[in-house]
Structure 1
């Protein structure tokens, strides 16, 4: 009976594979290799989502998630976090809870897991949004995930129309004003997908946004270019040069990606190619910059700790000549 209920929940709440097609989304297709990469990322996200819904516990789901190829495993964990957020809002959740996942197998994948929570929030009514003890540094990745979702599924409005949510009710508190910036970082990541990993197309899309928004958008695109990949060294260098004054933010996003992959034990060759271009460093050293600049203490300053962290990382790359 319990297994039948989980199977039913999986069928009800799991998105359709067709949603990952670039043609369905209307995204730019650079070539067949880039198309296959982006569509595989989407499929692996849904695989992770399905495992989390189907398996009785996060530990059982993790056994299946860890069978996903290294390059795509982080996306599967992102999908699992979305699933635990959605299923946690339904009756008969059992052990399939977001807090259990984040404290257990999802912990090394915290960057991607928090992003997955943001995907779920885009699907759930506000009264069902998750309530858990947020990491003051990483909680903003939830809104990054929300912004990515909106740009991915409402591309005409959020990317081509450069729409920005004027007010957002989460997470609340004195730093609520920062929410649109966090969402822009996610929109920037999505633009890497919308532009089909083509450096020139992505640059053109970002260039249509107001100048004040571009640093966050470039940071997100730099993260996606490093974590997801899809472009070779020459193309990444062209993107880096086109970023102009936003190059420190591209390096910051790239360093975040390197640290996310290192923390989860998911290092890949394309990550190193990107950090060498964007950060002037191998991935281990780029990730070290994130660790060395990480703020300590409560999130009580004028700026949210997450933004303090991002600025420290960007400033470190400026000092290394990456501007």
Structure 2
């Protein structure tokens, strides 16, 4: 490793101590949950560090790929964040474009990682962020919301603040941006709750009612993708979610699709989709794929939200939803 790459890694890479549960002040359910969540954080920073010091995506890939399957997606997320930050610096080497071209199977986590970079970059550099897919680009704001809730927990979770408007993407339905951010905040709440469903529900139900569907959906994604809950806990969560259970299922199906596409499906993913979606990971992914067919162009609602609503409706057994879906 050259002195330049060592210096670049030291300057760009956050302190791993910032991912400790005790540092963040998150709920501690038990030692197993603490180890899981802190390993998520250290894996993210491992990927970030590999990308910060590498000459490009090809050089970073072996180190990122060596991360255990349970945490490999988080390493790719961290790598995407680092490449996005490097792309925003003078020179614009287009690392993220090459990273996505080489690792399309991790596209969901990569877009979320770009959102982490957004949270660390001045707004005047946001136009340099690479997120070309008009459907998946909303995951960038999911990543932004997760970052803010994870590192500014008092403001975004306990005080329940959010931006009134958000100037990204420039050509998208502006009013939807804060909803995509809420999905990331909900995902972060699974970490703030220490993978404890009772703590999670307490956090989410303290938010205004009009925000909860997006928050529960984000939480469902984290519950499935990151794991940390037992079957008993998942059954309790599904029951206590009440009217938001289809939102939990929608998020869990997104987590399942991300895992399956990357070839990283593990038992905790199958458990989550079985309880929250009533089906396997592959079947939950099929729901997301079928809902994606024939999406309209962005309008008042982006196609991304129409996609999410179709998935939610597929998991909603209420007669009103069935009637609407048949029309």
Q: TM-score normalized by structure 2?
A: 0.94
8 Å Cα contact 1:189-1:217 kept in structure 2 = yes
Kindly indicate whether residue 145 of structure 2 is the aligned counterpart of residue 125 of structure 1: no
Which residue in the other structure is 2:139 paired with? 141
Residue segments in structure 2 that go unaligned for 5+ positions in a row = 323-327
What CA deviation, in whole Å up to 9, does each residue of 1:101-126 have, x standing for no partner? 11222x11111110000101100001
Shift of 1:319: 4.6
Give the Cα separation in 2 of the matches to 1:89 and 1:255: 32
Aligned counterparts, 1:257-296, within 5 A: 257-296=255-294
8 Å Cα contact 2:218-2:248 kept in structure 1 = yes
Aligned counterparts, 1:85-96, within 5 A: 85-91=84-90
8 Å Cα contact 1:136-1:298 kept in structure 2 = no
Which residue in the other structure is 2:230 paired with? 232
What secondary structure, in the 3-state scheme, does the structure 2 residue paired with 1:299 have? coil
Kindly indicate whether residue 69 of structure 2 is the aligned counterpart of residue 67 of structure 1: no
Q: TM-score normalized by structure 1?
A: 0.95
What secondary structure, in the 3-state scheme, does the structure 1 residue paired with 2:132 have? coil
Which residue in the other structure is 2:26 paired with? 27
Give the Cα separation in 1 of the matches to 2:68 and 2:124: 36
Which residue in the other structure is 1:179 paired with? 177
8 Å Cα contact 1:251-1:317 kept in structure 2 = yes
8 Å Cα contact 2:252-2:272 kept in structure 1 = yes
Shift of 1:9: 1.0
Aligned counterparts, 1:165-176, within 5 A: 165-176=163-174
Give the Cα separation in 2 of the matches to 1:149 and 1:225: 17
CA gap 1:311/1:264 in 2 versus in 1, 3 angstroms: same
Give the Cα separation in 1 of the matches to 2:259 and 2:139: 15
Give the Cα separation in 2 of the matches to 1:7 and 1:128: 25
What CA deviation, in whole Å up to 9, does each residue of 1:270-317 have, x standing for no partner? 000000000000111011111111144663333201100000001111
In the alignment of these two chains, the number of paired residues is 320
Give the Cα separation in 2 of the matches to 1:64 and 1:164: 36
CA gap 1:81/1:188 in 2 versus in 1, 3 angstroms: same
What CA deviation, in whole Å up to 9, does each residue of 1:209-268 have, x standing for no partner? 001100000001110000000100110111111111111110000000000000111111
8 Å Cα contact 1:226-1:257 kept in structure 2 = yes
8 Å Cα contact 1:295-1:305 kept in structure 2 = no
Name whichever of 5-14 and 187-196 sits farther off. 5-14
Give the Cα separation in 1 of the matches to 2:139 and 2:17: 26
Kindly indicate whether residue 223 of structure 2 is the aligned counterpart of residue 216 of structure 1: no
Kindly indicate whether residue 75 of structure 2 is the aligned counterpart of residue 55 of structure 1: no
Kindly indicate whether residue 98 of structure 2 is the aligned counterpart of residue 109 of structure 1: no
Give the Cα separation in 1 of the matches to 2:261 and 2:115: 20
Which residue in the other structure is 1:36 paired with? 35
8 Å Cα contact 2:148-2:156 kept in structure 1 = yes
CA gap 1:48/1:291 in 2 versus in 1, 3 angstroms: same
Kindly indicate whether residue 68 of structure 2 is the aligned counterpart of residue 77 of structure 1: no
